[in-house]
């Protein structure tokens, strides 16, 4: 059984022919709490083309997670512009932004990506439904099988190993045909064997499902399977 129709046009696709998946144009992000200002991004410029898998590297505090939050439309830049598929995210209206987040985007954090009391299959089905996709049990099971999780379909997510949980999250992204997958240290909690399996699954998201994958990581192994690496330092390209 295969997951059919592996790639769809992003809901926010521009008229321009194949704009990049992500662009940061002179992006600044300043966090203010009371009198304290933290400049997390200071003039970040980068382009990530469609269908790339890119490692985002750099020391702790250099702005990697901040950039992912902007790319996910969860926060806005203080100055500059972030574009996804050619569209400036701050210029999307509420409905367009919600659609971008629900349909085009998948986010994989270090952990806690699943509803722990639902089974693996229920997690994928719920993810499909929230994305406005057909929530057929077959699609969810097929996606789990594609990522070697067929025998875990009926296990509660909270009882899966860390690596299995990450692969369920990745299978859900594949099932909903997420065009852009943003990962923040997805193998940070895993031993080497599980890191390699999750790394393989991320690579497959790009190779077999056409997703653009951006992955913040400290893992040389994970960075090594990416098409290229982008290094940040002090809120901009190193
Ligand atoms: P990285 O993911 O590369 O470790 P972050 O993007 O999380 O870096 O953080 C960049 C800088 O912004 C750090 O100095 C961090 O302390 C600060 N920062 C991040 N989020 C917030 C926030 N919500 N409020 C205030 N400062 C923040
Ligand atoms: Mg971070």
36-93 pLDDT per residue, tens: 999 999 999 999 999 999 999 999 999 999 999 999 999 999 999 999 999 999 999 9
Question: Residue 1: its pLDDT value, please?
Answer: 39
Residues with CB under 6 A from ligand 1: 31, 33, 38, 40, 58, 60-66
Give percent of the chain above pLDDT 90. Answer: 88
For the segment 220-232, the average pLDDT, to the nearest whole number, is 95
Question: Residue 2: its pLDDT value, please?
Answer: 40
Give percent of the chain above pLDDT 70. Answer: 92
Question: Residue 18: its pLDDT value, please?
Answer: 87
Q: Which of 4-13, 92-101, 134-143 has the highest mean pLDDT?
A: 92-101
Give, for ligand 1, the residue of 59, 66, 236 to mutate: max count of ligand atoms closer than 8 Å to Cβ.
66
Ligand 1 atom with the shortest distance to the CA of 232: 3
Q: pLDDT category, 11, cuts 50, 70, 90?
A: low
Ligand nearest to the CA of residue 64, numbered in listed order: 1
The HSE-up count of residue 72 (CA atoms within 13 Å, CB side) is: 21
Q: pLDDT category, 7, cuts 50, 70, 90?
A: very low
How many Å is the Cα radius of gyration of the chain?
17
Give, for ligand 1, the residue of 34, 58, 63, 109 to mutate: max count of ligand atoms closer than 8 Å to Cβ.
63
The answer to whether 120 touches 152, Cβ cutoff 8 Å, is yes
Please give the Cα distance from 66 to 40 (Å, whole number). 7
Q: pLDDT category, 17, cuts 50, 70, 90?
A: confident
Measured at the CA of 69, the angle between CA 23 and CA 134, to 5 degrees, comes to 90
Assess whether pLDDT exceeds 80 at residue 196: yes
Ligand 1 atom with the shortest distance to the CA of 59: 3
Ligand 1 atom with the shortest distance to the CA of 41: 10
Please give the Cα distance from 160 to 169 (Å, whole number). 12
Which tokens in the block code for residue 115? 């509803």
Assess whether pLDDT exceeds 70 at residue 14: no
Instruction: Work out the number of other CB atoms within 10 angstroms of the CB of residue 115.
Output: 14
């Amino acid at each position: 059984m295969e997951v059919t129709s592996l790639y769809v046009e992003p809901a926010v696709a521009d008229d321009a022919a194949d704009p990049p998946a992500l662009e940061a144009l002179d992006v600044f992000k300043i966090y203010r709490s009371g009198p304290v200002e933290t400049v997390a991004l200071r003039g970040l410029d980068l382009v990530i083309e469609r269908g790339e898998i890119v490692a985002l590297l750099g020391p702790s505090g250099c702005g990697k997670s901040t950039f992912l939050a902007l790319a996910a439309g969860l926060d806005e830049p203080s100055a500059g512009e972030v574009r996804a598929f050619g569209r400036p995210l701050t210029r999307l209206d509420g409905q367009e932004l919600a659609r971008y987040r629900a349909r085009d985007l998948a986010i994989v954090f270090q952990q806690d990506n699943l509803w722990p009391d639902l089974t693996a299959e229920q997690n994928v089905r719920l993810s499909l439904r929230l994305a406005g996709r057909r929530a057929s049990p077959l699609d969810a099971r097929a996606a789990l099988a594609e990522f070697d999780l067929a025998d875990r379909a009926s296990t509660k997510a909270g009882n899966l190993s860390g690596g299995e949980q990450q692969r369920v999250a990745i299978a859900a992204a594949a099932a909903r045909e997420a065009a852009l997958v943003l990962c923040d240290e997805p193998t940070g909690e895993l031993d080497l064997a599980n890191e390699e399996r999750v790394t393989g699954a991320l690579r497959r998201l790009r190779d077999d499902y056409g997703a653009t994958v951006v992955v913040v990581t400290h893992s040389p192994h994970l960075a090594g399977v990416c098409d290229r690496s982008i290094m940040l330092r002090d809120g901009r390209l190193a």
